[in-house]
Structure 1
Amino acid sequence: MPLPVQDQAWPPPHIHRELRLYEQWGAWYGGDPDHLARVYGANQVHGIGLDPKGWDRPQPGVTGIMNRVSRWFWGSPTPSGQVRNTKLHIPIAGDICSTSADLLFSEPPTLRVKGKNGQKRLDSLMHEAGIYGSLLEAAEVSSAYGGVFLRVGWDTEMYDHPVLSVFPPDAAVPEFRYGALFAVTFWRILREDEKGQVWRHLERHERGRVYHGLYLGTSNKLGKPIPLTEHPETEIYADKVDETGGFDTYFPRGLLVNYVPNMRPHRLIRGTALGRSDYQGVEHLMDALDEVWTSLMRDIRLGKGRIVVPDLFLENLGRGKGATWDPDKEIYSGLGMLPPPGTAPNAMLTISQFAIRVTEHVESGKALIAQILRGAGYSASSFGEADGSGRQLTATEIHSRDRKSFSTRGRKTGYWTPSLQWLAEALLSVDLGVWGTKVTPERAEVHWPDGVLPDPEALGRTVELFNRAQAISLESKVRLVHAEWDDHQVTAEVKRLRDELGLTVPDPDRLDEVLIPDASGED
């Protein structure tokens, strides 16, 4: 189905609930206090985060709205008479997303295809196109918004290889069929003038086709289509589209777009194929954490020592200019009155020093952080919290300590594996169709690393024991030490070792059948 030709509401009304969730999660991910205040309705009547169960219901009135606002720390207004907003935000939401991405792609998976030429070209594309960096970005966005869209494209004027783009779900209108992405329409605002006119670019992906359209409308209306040449950012597509407004994608088997859910099921929207954010269910705890640390900073501000002095200690600066007090002044002018009997001069000074409840606030913050991370599916140790022993842990102990984090990682790899298989085939298909490379597009096998680097000393002892028992070949040694290497890297390393050690092989095609000289120098 091509792009719309008639004016309609935009974004479409059927995704309003999802967009409200994306705006709420995006505010936590961005970490901007002003954005959080706007989303949760501080200093205003309406807000998105007032009542998660009542977004789509008519608001009962100002009193009811303000009651719901008070449930959120970020929804409470700045107290009257306070000169500035003193709310403090702890960016734990951003830490959750970056840690999730690191657990998945800090050690990237290996994509393998059957053809030798195809494997060599795929490895080249993964490095030249910066695919691994894009996957880290996509994993972080997916953690925050509950999912992410990957799009394979090309630009022959800038690149000599396909490119991978990452799109957050709040910039797309997806269509699912049996839980799989059937079609999707990306949209972005290109320009908005002072008259309220809005230029939007729509990019629709269907099986084997991509459509581009430029629309002139308003803030909530799509408007009517106008020629792509009317805006410089869409002009590049004008000579590529046909009379239907689209062109072929060189990938007839499916879409050049894939949706990767973060985690399923979605706990707020039943039956949807969309994923849920790592923040879902812990927003109120993150809100409480900000309130705790704001309270701590308030104690620090109020705990500053203050001295209250009588008027007679102040030095008048003149009419209308106020008065000052110099705490280092040694001699004051005589008083025109006698102090009360038995009153010492220093008793006329009042020193205020409030207690700072550091321990109470810190312990409360730690408890909230532990609950937030547990609710998001991670272990506190994955965020740098030490176990207190002070000793270096082995890989097995790290797996045991971070069990919850690695369980979450294991679930997420189950959603990423089909998408990475699709990615290899899509990259090779575009590479073949646009640049005519001599490769056969195919889905890749995905091999994930363990996620924890093994102890080098323990690994060395293992290799040495197998070597003494003559139970391991040279190639197997290399694969054991460098589990992340592909076949080409292993073969090259084996050849270098043979050359350095002077090893001989009776059959060049079987590198594992080597004769190692003994101590006497005889074979």
Structure 2
Amino acid sequence: MALPEPNSAWPPPAWAAAYATYAENEAWYLGDVDKLTKVYQRNGATRPVEVRGQRNGGVVGAVSRFFWGRPVPAGQNRTRLHIPAPADLATLSSDLMFSEPPEVRIEGLTALQQARLDLIANSDGAHATFNEMGELKAALGATVIASEWDQDVADHVWLESYGVDVVIPEFRKKRLLAATMWTEYVDGNRYFRHLERHERGMIEHALYEGTADKIGRRVPLQDRPETEHIALIVDADSRILTGLDRLTVSYNKNMPTMAWRKKGELAAAGRSDFAQLHPLFDALDETWSSWMRDLKQGAGKVLVPQGAATAGGPGTGASFDTGQEFFVELNAPGEIGKVSFDKIQFDIRVEQHERTAYAIYREILRKAGYSPSAWGDYGANGAITATEIDDRSQGSERTRDKKALFDKQAIGEQASVALELDGLLFPGKGGGRHDKPITVEFPEVSQEDPEKRARTLQMLDAARSISTEARVRYRLEGENLTEPEILAEIERVQKEQGEAAPDPTTFTG
């Protein structure tokens, strides 16, 4: 689509279903209990509870039966506790993908060109962006990577990531044609939205003033201090010409969608790690809330006779002094002449709640594609070996490999665009277009136990099935050494073990 027509619905109706899902996932990701309550009490919040709940079928009835969709009866103060499992799940995904960052390479670059590529895609700033991207796309289902620049801020182009809940993409045959990113500024009842539409060769900027659900009318960029500087760099058509025949944004999905595969453009959107997990998140919160309620009710309570209470005056009730030692003329219940105190002590069902919570944890990890040990071996009985731990981590590694396919494509594509754009904006510093393909390499495993590597090498050496050179190369994997440095280390090991051939010019027999 082009920029929206004045007073049209926002977000566009074609993306309404996606944005409703984004809002639900964001509420879980943020752990915002007010937003969760609002999401699950929508559609008939003023109707009677019995109609809104069990006696109502379909989506409305289902969400109202959620723990967060059930209103608290009047006069009750129930404990509602949120456990940040969704946020932990998004962090887990990002950690698996980017705790050891990928390396972006183009063969045949000069030292100056390589330094520029490293600044754009292999620097600490780029790795921080990738980590943020990993969390956002796990929670929302996809992100957009954009090439950004501001000559008043930095002397190079950089990569930036945006969640898809501020993006309207345009696809054809599941390929990105254009994308409109937007930022919202709320001033009372006035909603200002800055739209930034990326298409081949240009970026168009527009500012609209509207309402919560209408885009409203287009106004000058100077009307907001946040967009005033953009008015100075766009042309008469409010555009910035990039000079490229490629998009300055790339769509990076988390995993292929399941729910929207028959819904037009939505079929190209990504799938969140939270898909089909909302009932489990809700059940986990209900379990922990029940546990905390047991703790409160488990606090011992003492029933005292009426005579042991001290009156506080008209309308103020009575109180009981727990430090008082003597009581006179008590109107005590029970046996005549005997003071009677009683206590109430409810059970705190620790084991039942703990087992239920850990079972839900395991189901969350299983459905999201991660290993049971990703959050710790909850409920595991007895010690387990390192080999068993490695076997149980295979699920996470398989999920990581599948997600890396989408990351490689998006990061590689936009890193190439950013490098070309950098050559146009900052000539002579090493940027520019390169015809050779760009590659993005992730480490083979996110983390490998050093003890396991040592055992593997020991067994191969004992079986006489590995050379000294192969052993050294295996040990040095992931240390980013150059080939001469690796060869020097191999030579040192061979000399120490007496394996190196003597120099014939100095050999004396």
For the superposition of Structure 1 and Structure 2, which TM-score range results when normalised by the shorter chain? 0.7 to 0.9
Aligned residue for 2:353? 361
Q: Quick one: structure 1 residues 456 and 291, their matched pair in 2 at CA, closer, same or farther if it must change by over 3 Å?
A: closer
Aligned residue for 1:434? 425
Question: Are 2:192 and 1:199 equivalent residues in the alignment?
Answer: yes
Write the letter of the residue equivalent to 1:7.
N
2: distance between equivalents of 1:38 and 1:60? 14
Q: 1:444 aligns with which of 438, 441, 454?
A: 438
Aligned residue for 1:29? 29
Q: Secondary structure, in 3 states, of the residue corresponding to 2:482?
A: helix
2: distance between equivalents of 1:266 and 1:501? 53
Aligned residue for 2:478? 484
Question: Are 2:118 and 1:87 equivalent residues in the alignment?
Answer: no
What runs of 5+ residues in structure 2 fail to find an aligned partner? none
Q: Secondary structure, in 3 states, of the residue corresponding to 1:413?
A: helix
What runs of 5+ residues in structure 1 fail to find an aligned partner? 51-58, 504-513
Aligned residue for 1:105? 98
Q: 1:184: how far off?
A: 0.7
Aligned residue for 1:155? 150
Report how many residues are paired.
Answer: 489
Q: 1:245 aligns with which of 214, 235, 238?
A: 238
Write the letter of the residue equivalent to 2:23.
E
Whether the 8 Å contact between 2:166 and 2:183 is mirrored in structure 1 is yes
Aligned residue for 1:413? 404
Q: Secondary structure, in 3 states, of the residue corresponding to 1:238?
A: helix
1: distance between equivalents of 2:507 and 2:466? 18
1:303-314 pair list within 5 angstroms:
303-314=298-309
Q: Quick one: structure 1 residues 113 and 479, their matched pair in 2 at CA, closer, same or farther if it must change by over 3 Å?
A: farther
Whether the 8 Å contact between 2:97 and 2:404 is mirrored in structure 1 is yes
Aligned residue for 1:139? 134
Q: 1:190: how far off?
A: 2.3
Write the letter of the residue equivalent to 2:274.
Y
Write the letter of the residue equivalent to 2:295.
I
Aligned residue for 1:376? 368
Write the letter of the residue equivalent to 1:167.
Y
2: distance between equivalents of 1:450 and 1:398? 18
Question: Are 2:222 and 1:229 equivalent residues in the alignment?
Answer: yes
Question: Are 2:177 and 1:185 equivalent residues in the alignment?
Answer: no
1: distance between equivalents of 2:274 and 2:210? 34
Q: Secondary structure, in 3 states, of the residue corresponding to 2:326?
A: coil
Q: Quick one: structure 1 residues 44 and 275, their matched pair in 2 at CA, closer, same or farther if it must change by over 3 Å?
A: same
Aligned residue for 1:328? 323
Write the letter of the residue equivalent to 2:29.
Y
Whether the 8 Å contact between 1:149 and 1:166 is mirrored in structure 2 is yes
Whether the 8 Å contact between 1:70 and 1:76 is mirrored in structure 2 is yes
Q: Secondary structure, in 3 states, of the residue corresponding to 2:100?
A: coil
Q: 1:225: how far off?
A: 1.8
2: distance between equivalents of 1:150 and 1:385? 35
Q: TM-score, normalised by structure 2?
A: 0.86
1: distance between equivalents of 2:274 and 2:184? 27
Whether the 8 Å contact between 2:369 and 2:399 is mirrored in structure 1 is yes
1: distance between equivalents of 2:52 and 2:301? 46
Q: Quick one: structure 1 residues 43 and 220, their matched pair in 2 at CA, closer, same or farther if it must change by over 3 Å?
A: closer
2: distance between equivalents of 1:152 and 1:245? 19
Q: 1:86: how far off?
A: 1.4
Question: Are 2:115 and 1:123 equivalent residues in the alignment?
Answer: no
Q: 1:280: how far off?
A: 0.9
2: distance between equivalents of 1:295 and 1:457? 42
Question: Are 2:72 and 1:78 equivalent residues in the alignment?
Answer: yes
- Out of 243-252 and 354-363, give the one that drifted further: 243-252
Whether the 8 Å contact between 1:201 and 1:214 is mirrored in structure 2 is yes
1: distance between equivalents of 2:348 and 2:452? 48
1: distance between equivalents of 2:185 and 2:270? 28
Q: Secondary structure, in 3 states, of the residue corresponding to 2:177?
A: strand
Aligned residue for 1:53? none
Q: Secondary structure, in 3 states, of the residue corresponding to 2:229?
A: helix
Q: Secondary structure, in 3 states, of the residue corresponding to 1:16?
A: helix
Q: Quick one: structure 1 residues 517 and 366, their matched pair in 2 at CA, closer, same or farther if it must change by over 3 Å?
A: farther
Q: 1:410: how far off?
A: 1.6
Q: State the identity as a percent.
A: 34
Root-mean-square deviation (CA, aligned residues, Å) is: 3.4
Write the letter of the residue equivalent to 2:270.
G
2: distance between equivalents of 1:42 and 1:172? 24
2: distance between equivalents of 1:121 and 1:262? 28
- Out of 68-77 and 136-145, give the one that drifted further: 68-77
Q: 1:158: how far off?
A: 1.1
Whether the 8 Å contact between 2:142 and 2:253 is mirrored in structure 1 is yes
1: distance between equivalents of 2:168 and 2:472? 47
Write the letter of the residue equivalent to 1:378.
Y
Q: 1:483: how far off?
A: 2.5
Whether the 8 Å contact between 2:141 and 2:270 is mirrored in structure 1 is yes
1: distance between equivalents of 2:217 and 2:336? 85
Q: 2:292 aligns with which of 293, 297, 309?
A: 297
Q: 1:388: how far off?
A: 4.8
Aligned residue for 1:425? 416
Write the letter of the residue equivalent to 1:188.
T
1: distance between equivalents of 2:382 and 2:31? 33
Write the letter of the residue equivalent to 1:456.
P
Aligned residue for 1:506? none
Aligned residue for 1:8? 8
Write the letter of the residue equivalent to 2:370.
Y
Write the letter of the residue equivalent to 1:447.
E
Q: Quick one: structure 1 residues 103 and 516, their matched pair in 2 at CA, closer, same or farther if it must change by over 3 Å?
A: farther
Aligned residue for 1:170? 165
Question: Are 2:260 and 1:265 equivalent residues in the alignment?
Answer: no
Aligned residue for 1:54? none
Q: Secondary structure, in 3 states, of the residue corresponding to 1:260?
A: strand
Q: Secondary structure, in 3 states, of the residue corresponding to 1:235?
A: coil
Write the letter of the residue equivalent to 2:36.
L
Q: 1:325: how far off?
A: 1.1
2: distance between equivalents of 1:152 and 1:330? 77
Whether the 8 Å contact between 2:386 and 2:452 is mirrored in structure 1 is no
2: distance between equivalents of 1:205 and 1:461? 52
2: distance between equivalents of 1:502 and 1:67? 72
